[in-house]
Chains A and B, each alone.
Chain A
Amino acid sequence: MKISRRSLLKSIGVSMAGGIFINGISSKRVFGEEKGMSKVHKPVLPPPTGKRVVILGGGYSGLYCATTLRDLAPEAEIVVVEKYPFFISGPSHVDFVAGLKRLDEITRSYDPIAGRNIRIIRSEVLGILPEEKRVLTAAGSLDYTLLLIATGIRIADEDVLNLIEQPASNSHAWEIGETIEMRKRVEAFTGGRFVVTVPTAPFKCPPGPYEVACLLREYFNNKKVKAEITVVDANDKPQPGPLAQKWTGVLEAREIKYMPNSKVVEIDAAARQLITDKGEKVGYDLVSIIPPNKAATFIKDAGLGDPFVDVDPATFRSKKYDHIFATGDCAKLPYTKSAFTSVLQGKSVAHYVAMALGIDVKEPAPIYNVCYPYVSSEESMMVRADWDRDGKMLKADADDPKKEYASSRAAWERGLISGLFGA
């Protein structure tokens, strides 16, 4: 389907009228006043004079692509579009919620990235016009030679009945604003039923919900707060698959009730209860619903895939447009939706983008994943998976909780951050 500017603007207009959410932010907020519409037509930057690579998303994948590409293609103009004014490391969201880290410890300025001749534009992406090689942002339009989409996931609140109408009823660690709110609620919790829900896979940071349950068990115990913790899981077993049996034992040992095969479809905030797809009611005093994870709606609108961007797992190139690439959580890939694979995907796609710019570079190494999910503030498990170049999983390994893995986790995340921003 060819996407024209007229049809895209029309669809954005329809979205505005209906108050439909775009990329997690209401269209009204994105556009501001009615007169904000005119901004869409104005270019943010003059048309490129040479090769311009536009990267949508300033998370791990987008930034690692930008910095790697800077080295591979010194002549290229690199532009990163990011909606947040600063970078926050995703894996530390759970640390912050559990009081293990402060916000300033996990936040970084984009200045060191900009200092490497990478332009950072703070704006919300509204749409892509692949035929015109143009991106529409809230700040205006942006023309490109090659485009990388690395916008991560969108939390699909609309998939849980009443969640949009009662947004204050929920908080979770999957978006920064929600994470801050959740921390406040955790601190204010004086006891009772804490429920964390897990969406159907795939979702960002698969061990995350179980880590939150375990860390908060420890936190509440330390504070002598009596908490009955329940994990309501839409999947048949804890995620990711390789850790399923280990998680089951970990949760049981911490007296965390585990309800697999139970998908939350509705919240009744007045009655303080969740309703599952089986019709079961689960009461709560503090709740953390993680709604289904999808990609930004402009991806579907641009005909690039639904709900994730359809790409070749080897080159990250769109199956539909040669000049578009996608990596990380927004792409339909066999790799775990984790910070670590996002980093490797970002580095890897930079090579394919450089090749597309006509630069002779070596084939990058295949993707693998390593992460160290917390079972407490002092112990972590270990999971590793390796894929071949075509995305076929070659092997996977997992290990029981150990103190040394908690140290490994700290070093692991420090490494991811310092690779971008320095020590």
Chain B
Amino acid sequence: MRRLALFLIIAGLISLWEPGEPVTLSAAEVTAPSPPSSENRVDVKKGLVAFVELKSEEPVTISIMYPTQYTKYKTTGSANGVLEFKNITWLVYPIPALLEEQTVYFLSSVPKGEAKKGDILFHTVYEDIHERIERLMKGEEMLRAGMEMVVAGDTEIIRLTPLIPGLKVRLDFSGNARFVIVKTIDLARYRKGIKSFEQLYDESDLKGSEKGIHFSTTEFEDLYLIVRLIVRTPDPVRVKSVIHATKESAESGC
């Protein structure tokens, strides 16, 4: 009976992953899916890394808070400095606890005025950090982070971070959109109006439309994805990013 329960848990977890997506999380440490909730606390024991996965039919805003931020948020309502992902339909977020236990809160909310359809599925999978590094060093490529979001405005800016050399990044787009990936200084120039989207598009090697792009990071530099809709259609454009760690990224020290 226990074996059957474990099998069902693993099967449930794997079913959340996109077809073709390598599932690299250690099956033996899978926890049972949490009941749908707008607030989840994740405790990670020392030596483990937790991969938190959220999936929602409708776009939601996900706020990730450390305990002090969470306490402040609960007492004052201030979400200053909180990591926030908007219009998210899928998220995989790692929480490493190399030295000491970590506690992180995930709060998800539906944009004001919109009805919530379906549940937000929340899963946590734990892996041993050293075992993971060992596998990376042996040449295995392992999922590090992932996100799918709906492009709400005409232009959307997404920070692809933290980036270290040797990561494999895959970006996919579901519809009519052009995109360009820029460094921080060009993001500042774009915001300031010093450079237009067209200029950045002409200058960048990392750009495209609809079909997406695959690339490996070579620097520690933060990158930003600027997405611009070509035409607005009834079906929203979705952007999906999947980042894999490699031996080279493990050697970069992160």
B188 in complex: contacting residue of A252, A261, A265, A333, CB < 8 Å: A265
B251 in complex: contacting residue of A236, A237, A334, CB < 8 Å: A334
List residues 197-243 of chain A with CB under 8 A from any CB of chain B.
200-202, 233-237, 241-242
Within the assembled complex, what's the spacing in Å between the Cα atoms of A258 and B66?
12
A332 at the interface (CB under 8 A from B): yes
Within the assembled complex, what's the spacing in Å between the Cα atoms of A275 and B191?
10
A38 at the interface (CB under 8 A from B): no
- Closest B residue to A245 by CB, please name it: B100
Across-interface contacts of A161 in B (CB, < 8 A):
185, 188-189, 192
A391 at the interface (CB under 8 A from B): yes
Across-interface contacts of A390 in B (CB, < 8 A):
137
Within the assembled complex, what's the spacing in Å between the Cα atoms of A159 and B180?
19
B105 at the interface (CB under 8 A from A): no
Given contacts A390-B137, A393-B133, A277 and B184 within 8 Å (CB-CB): yes
- Whole-angstrom distance between the Cβ of B219 and the nearest chain A Cβ: 6
Given contacts A249-B68, A261-B81, A279-B191, A307 and B220 within 8 Å (CB-CB): yes
Q: Check if A159 sits within 8 Å of B185, measured CB to CB.
A: yes
A306 at the interface (CB under 8 A from B): yes
B219 in complex: contacting residue of A201, A307, A396, CB < 8 Å: A307
Given contacts A161-B185, A259-B80, A277-B159, A266 and B66 within 8 Å (CB-CB): no
Q: Check if A242 sits within 8 Å of B99, measured CB to CB.
A: yes
Q: Check if B99 sits within 8 Å of A398, measured CB to CB.
A: yes
Across-interface contacts of A396 in B (CB, < 8 A):
98-99
Q: Check if A200 sits within 8 Å of B98, measured CB to CB.
A: no
Across-interface contacts of A392 in B (CB, < 8 A):
133-134, 137, 250
Across-interface contacts of A332 in B (CB, < 8 A):
165, 252
A313 at the interface (CB under 8 A from B): yes
B187 at the interface (CB under 8 A from A): yes
B83 at the interface (CB under 8 A from A): yes
Within the assembled complex, what's the spacing in Å between the Cα atoms of A261 and B93?
15
Size of interface on A: residues with Cβ below 8 Å to B: 47
A248 at the interface (CB under 8 A from B): yes
Chain A-chain B contacts (Cβ-Cβ < 8 Å), number: 104
B96 at the interface (CB under 8 A from A): yes
Given contacts A332-B165, A398-B100, A202 and B222 within 8 Å (CB-CB): no
Q: Check if A201 sits within 8 Å of B222, measured CB to CB.
A: no
Q: Check if B66 sits within 8 Å of A237, measured CB to CB.
A: yes
Contact string against A for B residues 162-197, beta-carbon threshold 8 Å, 1 for contact and 0 otherwise:
100100000000000000000111011101100000
A263 in complex: contacting residue of B98, B133, B184, CB < 8 Å: B184
- Whole-angstrom distance between the Cβ of A140 and the nearest chain B Cβ: 32
A342 at the interface (CB under 8 A from B): no
Could you say which of B100, B133, B159, B187 has the most chain A C-beta atoms within 10 Å of its C-beta? B100
B1 at the interface (CB under 8 A from A): no
Across-interface contacts of B68 in A (CB, < 8 A):
248-249, 252
Given contacts A242-B98, A252-B68, A393-B98, A265 and B187 within 8 Å (CB-CB): yes
Within the assembled complex, what's the spacing in Å between the Cα atoms of A237 and B94?
13
B161 at the interface (CB under 8 A from A): yes
Across-interface contacts of B66 in A (CB, < 8 A):
237, 244-245, 248
Contact string against A for B residues 130-144, beta-carbon threshold 8 Å, 1 for contact and 0 otherwise:
000110010000000
Q: Check if B162 sits within 8 Å of A265, measured CB to CB.
A: no
Across-interface contacts of A261 in B (CB, < 8 A):
81-83
A43 at the interface (CB under 8 A from B): no
Within the assembled complex, what's the spacing in Å between the Cα atoms of A393 and B254?
10
- Closest A residue to B136 by CB, please name it: A392
Within the assembled complex, what's the spacing in Å between the Cα atoms of A335 and B250?
12
B204 at the interface (CB under 8 A from A): no
- Whole-angstrom distance between the Cβ of A193 and the nearest chain B Cβ: 15
Q: Check if B81 sits within 8 Å of A202, measured CB to CB.
A: no
- Whole-angstrom distance between the Cβ of B120 and the nearest chain A Cβ: 22
- Closest A residue to B183 by CB, please name it: A159
Within the assembled complex, what's the spacing in Å between the Cα atoms of A359 and B147?
53
Q: Check if B137 sits within 8 Å of A260, measured CB to CB.
A: no
B38 at the interface (CB under 8 A from A): no
Q: Check if B99 sits within 8 Å of A159, measured CB to CB.
A: no
Across-interface contacts of B98 in A (CB, < 8 A):
241-242, 393, 396
Across-interface contacts of B253 in A (CB, < 8 A):
202, 333-335, 391, 393
Given contacts A241-B99, A248-B68, A393-B98, A158 and B222 within 8 Å (CB-CB): no
Contact string against A for B residues 220-245, beta-carbon threshold 8 Å, 1 for contact and 0 otherwise:
11101000000000000000000000
Across-interface contacts of B251 in A (CB, < 8 A):
313, 334, 391
Across-interface contacts of B67 in A (CB, < 8 A):
245, 248
- Whole-angstrom distance between the Cβ of B77 and the nearest chain A Cβ: 16
B61 at the interface (CB under 8 A from A): no
A262 at the interface (CB under 8 A from B): yes
Within the assembled complex, what's the spacing in Å between the Cα atoms of A266 and B187?
10
Within the assembled complex, what's the spacing in Å between the Cα atoms of A279 and B81?
13
Within the assembled complex, what's the spacing in Å between the Cα atoms of A263 and B170?
24
- Closest B residue to A266 by CB, please name it: B188
Could you say which of A233, A245, A391 has the most chain B C-beta atoms within 10 Å of its C-beta? A245
- Whole-angstrom distance between the Cβ of A277 and the nearest chain B Cβ: 6
A397 at the interface (CB under 8 A from B): yes
- Closest B residue to A235 by CB, please name it: B162
Q: Check if B133 sits within 8 Å of A236, measured CB to CB.
A: no
Across-interface contacts of B183 in A (CB, < 8 A):
159
B102 at the interface (CB under 8 A from A): yes
B218 at the interface (CB under 8 A from A): yes
A-B pairs with the 8 shortest C-beta distances? A334-B253, A265-B188, A242-B99, A161-B188, A259-B81, A261-B83, A266-B188, A260-B81
List 4 additional contacts besides A201-B254, A260-B83, A334-B251; criterion CB under 8 Å.
A235-B162, A257-B80, A258-B81, A259-B80
Could you pull out 30 A-B pairs where Cβ atoms are within 8 angstroms?
Answer: A159-B183, A201-B254, A202-B220, A202-B254, A236-B64, A236-B162, A241-B99, A245-B100, A245-B102, A249-B68, A252-B68, A257-B80, A265-B185, A265-B187, A266-B188, A266-B192, A275-B188, A277-B184, A277-B187, A279-B191, A292-B184, A292-B221, A308-B220, A334-B252, A334-B253, A390-B137, A391-B251, A392-B137, A397-B99, A398-B99
